[in-house]
Structure 1
Amino acid sequence: MMKLALPVLVFSALWLGQGCQSKAGKDQTGSTSDSTVTTSTESASADSPTTTSAADSAATDTTAAAGRKLSPLDSLGMIGPKITGAILPGKRILAYYGNPHSKKMGVLGEYPKDEMLRMLDKQAIPWVEQDSAKTPIQKALHLVAISAQGAPGKNGHYSMRMSDKTIRKVIRWAGEHDAICFLDIQVGHAPLGPEMEFLKPYLELPYVHLGIDPEFALRTSGAKPGSKIGTYDAADINEATQFLSKIVRDKKVPPKVLVVHRFTRRMVTNYKNIKLDPNVQIVMNMDGWGPPSLKRDTYHDYIQTEPVQYTGFKLFYHNDMKKVDLRSKHKVPHLMEPSEVLSLNPKPLYIQYQ
């Protein structure tokens, strides 16, 4: 199997409102990517006014057994899958990724809610049928809740926080569909700690988990998102693990899942120093797109050979279909089947579609 001489998978294109481009690059290069959202209708600050949906308004007017009124977050805590223990490895997570404000970022925002959820249900079927172990599927929605931006913005961080309304909306979509929800952070130039703190009220819900994306962590380099691939060190991942572990201990909720995206070596440094915690399940997610042979090589080079705990694999409904795999029997581009992904070692337990 070819190793470092191979181009790495192209990372998902940064959407800057001017169209998107993607091109292959070496381990240290960058290109534009579709993994971020820019929208004039979205709130960029945690302090911006929020709008309460009709469902949440009704919940707010409901009196709890203790005699107090339920907040919108309280109402979200009353729905969702009833998970009492660790999700992995007993289940395989199948997630739809994106943002409802962008059709370019992924399937989560590309289709209307009901159609998207029907697609998720249908997509889950072959993952059990083609799995010799018949591992049950835990469906998930993976929201980019803090999005990297091509301009510094009011906060100067090249990032934008989604509004409370948007975040609660997607969590509700997940909860009402018996799915878990991931909130993904693209920090831009912001420190990770305050961004996690912003998401803490949602992460305290038992079925809400965290994703962090080194691709857009560019604080140390000072580069603009989309111009260079960012990086996280083991210390950053340990910080996220400790943050989630404290939530688990304080709120007495089941272990959290932490997804870390990766498709180059420099995206995660000092992986041997990543510390495991019984309250947090760490997934290193192969996040690049390209023909199947290149995706397999990237999985081997940056996920399998630098193991942490659990592994993930990302599939792109559109970008993976751009090129024919010259190292396969296929004459036209094809999206990898579950059986192909499940032939990897170790078998990924987190599957993400964009």
Structure 2
Amino acid sequence: MRDAPKPFSSEWINAPAATRVRPRRLPRRSHHWLIAFFAKLPGERGLTFLVVLVLVFSSFWFAGPRGEAHVRSGSRVVADVPAAPRLTFGEPEPTARANISTEALTVNTAGNAGGEQDAVAPQLKLEPEAAEEEASTPNGLLPKNRILAFYGFPGNPDMGILGEYDMDRLLEELRKQAAEYEEADPSHPVLLAFEVIASVAQKDPQADGSYLQDTPSDVLDQYADFTRENGLLLFLDVQIGYRTVENEIKGLKPWLSQDHVHLALDPEFAMKKGQVPGVHIGSIDAKDVTFAQNWLVDLATEARITPRLLVVHQFKETMLTNKDRIAPVPGVQLIVDADGWGTPTEKLATYDFVNRTTHIEYDGVKLFYNQDVPLMTAEDVVNLDPSPLLVIYQ
């Protein structure tokens, strides 16, 4: 190697500055290989595309099995609306008929005996509906459905629409009414029903002192057969009079043992000593409702039928004493129906204390074609708070 000029000599001063060489940490061969590798990589946009592509394909790997997505709009599930169901019921097993009078009926057709109601500010549903509650009774018809019923006594138009038409025509009219509810609330399929008065309150004691006349057995048979064959529910309404709830429902066991037949209690005509139906407003106690609930559960087990529905009508607070002691019972679904006719404001006030202030399990409302002026629309009804799952027309 050539000797460098001595420091501060003329040769040292005039010599050009030495070229700075970057330190080398890799052998020259590895250095050239890395330069060639990175030169072949794509630019910034290309790298971004590759990263996105890797993430997309990774999502398929980590995702679970394919299934249906649940899309929510507000608080409702957005889904195709199922067709209105048609229930099917098996033939009832032969059983002994109850001893029910077949004498001609004389019915009390007096107007609403409920008297005046204290006006309460109406409660309408103004906020999005909360997620629907789960049924406390497995395999029960509620809360996934809404039940629409026509009420009355066969052949007597003064007691409700059920008495205005024969059964075939009545079913046609009921289907027309149901279409309005299916449009107003597609989330609840509409189940059709007849509610037949099985014991009719009278102004006179009658031979047994009950102030009742019983609907003839063959009439109950006709309605039970027709509703079963056409996929309808049938409610048998008892007006109790001077009998007990226990005696009333046990007398109807042959029909209540059928899968599609259910029970309704009408405290308005359940009399105490010295009272007369149509003059006084009757009542039943929480213990009567609880007895009916438990009896229906036992009946369903014995007859091997689906869970029962129990309807209790109410339009005055005094009609259900100790109501706060009534509770849901697994195996039977309880519906308290806000009864009584009047203006929409009066009906909303009644509905408020029956099914909002003193709510128990499920809620119902009764409408009167001839007495409610103006008649509430299906949209009005489904927007009540809470929304009723039983709607009865009389």
TM-score bin (small chain): 0.7 to 0.9
Matched with 2:365 is 313
Cα drift, residue 277 of structure 1: 1.3
Of 273, 277, 282 in structure 1, the residue corresponding to residue 325 of structure 2 is 273
Cα drift, residue 113 of structure 1: 2.2
Cα drift, residue 269 of structure 1: 1.3
Cα drift, residue 116 of structure 1: 1.2
Matched with 2:382 is 342
Identity of aligned residues (%): 37
Cα drift, residue 252 of structure 1: 1.7
Taking the aligned partners of 1:89 and 1:22, their CA distance within structure 2 comes to 30
8 A contact 1:189–1:222 mirrored in 2: no
Gaps of 5+ in 1: 1-14, 29-83, 322-333
Taking the aligned partners of 2:211 and 2:175, their CA distance within structure 1 comes to 35
Cα drift, residue 101 of structure 1: 3.3
Q: What pairs up with 1:147-158 in 2 under 5 angstroms? A: 147-158=200-211
Taking the aligned partners of 1:194 and 1:101, their CA distance within structure 2 comes to 26
Matched with 1:100 is 154
Cα drift, residue 279 of structure 1: 0.9
Of 82, 86, 110 in structure 1, the residue corresponding to residue 140 of structure 2 is 86
Q: Does 1:110 align with 2:150?
A: no
Taking the aligned partners of 2:111 and 2:145, their CA distance within structure 1 comes to 36
Gaps of 5+ in 2: 1-104, 119-137
8 A contact 1:27–1:266 mirrored in 2: no
Paired letter, 1:351: V
Q: What pairs up with 1:18-97 in 2 under 5 angstroms? A: 20-22=110-112, 25-26=115-116, 85-97=139-151
Q: Does 1:244 align with 2:284?
A: no
Taking the aligned partners of 1:274 and 1:20, their CA distance within structure 2 comes to 31
Matched with 2:5 is none
Q: Does 1:233 align with 2:233?
A: no
Matched with 2:391 is 351
Taking the aligned partners of 2:205 and 2:261, their CA distance within structure 1 comes to 29
Determine helix, strand or coil for the equivalent of 2:354.
Answer: helix
Determine helix, strand or coil for the equivalent of 1:210.
Answer: strand
Cα drift, residue 20 of structure 1: 3.3
8 A contact 2:113–2:278 mirrored in 1: no
Q: Does 1:204 align with 2:225?
A: no
Matched with 1:191 is 244
Taking the aligned partners of 1:197 and 1:233, their CA distance within structure 2 comes to 18
Taking the aligned partners of 2:241 and 2:109, their CA distance within structure 1 comes to 20
Taking the aligned partners of 2:384 and 2:192, their CA distance within structure 1 comes to 21
Q: Does 1:142 align with 2:195?
A: yes
Taking the aligned partners of 1:150 and 1:120, their CA distance within structure 2 comes to 31
Structure label with greater radius of gyration: 2
Paired letter, 2:377: E
8 A contact 1:16–1:150 mirrored in 2: no
The CA deviation string for residues 58-88 of structure 1, in whole angstroms up to 9 with x for no partner, is: xxxxxxxxxxxxxxxxxxxxxxxxxx92111
Cα drift, residue 139 of structure 1: 0.3
Taking the aligned partners of 1:22 and 1:310, their CA distance within structure 2 comes to 25
Taking the aligned partners of 1:248 and 1:18, their CA distance within structure 2 comes to 34
Taking the aligned partners of 1:268 and 1:27, their CA distance within structure 2 comes to 16
8 A contact 2:192–2:232 mirrored in 1: yes
What do you get for the CA RMSD once the two structures are aligned? 1.9
Taking the aligned partners of 1:23 and 1:195, their CA distance within structure 2 comes to 22
Paired letter, 2:332: V
How many corresponding residue pairs? 271
Taking the aligned partners of 1:260 and 1:285, their CA distance within structure 2 comes to 6
8 A contact 2:202–2:212 mirrored in 1: yes
Cα drift, residue 27 of structure 1: 6.2
The CA deviation string for residues 80-135 of structure 1, in whole angstroms up to 9 with x for no partner, is: xxxx921111110000101113111111111222221100011100101011x521
Taking the aligned partners of 2:350 and 2:210, their CA distance within structure 1 comes to 30
Cα drift, residue 244 of structure 1: 0.5
Matched with 1:177 is 230
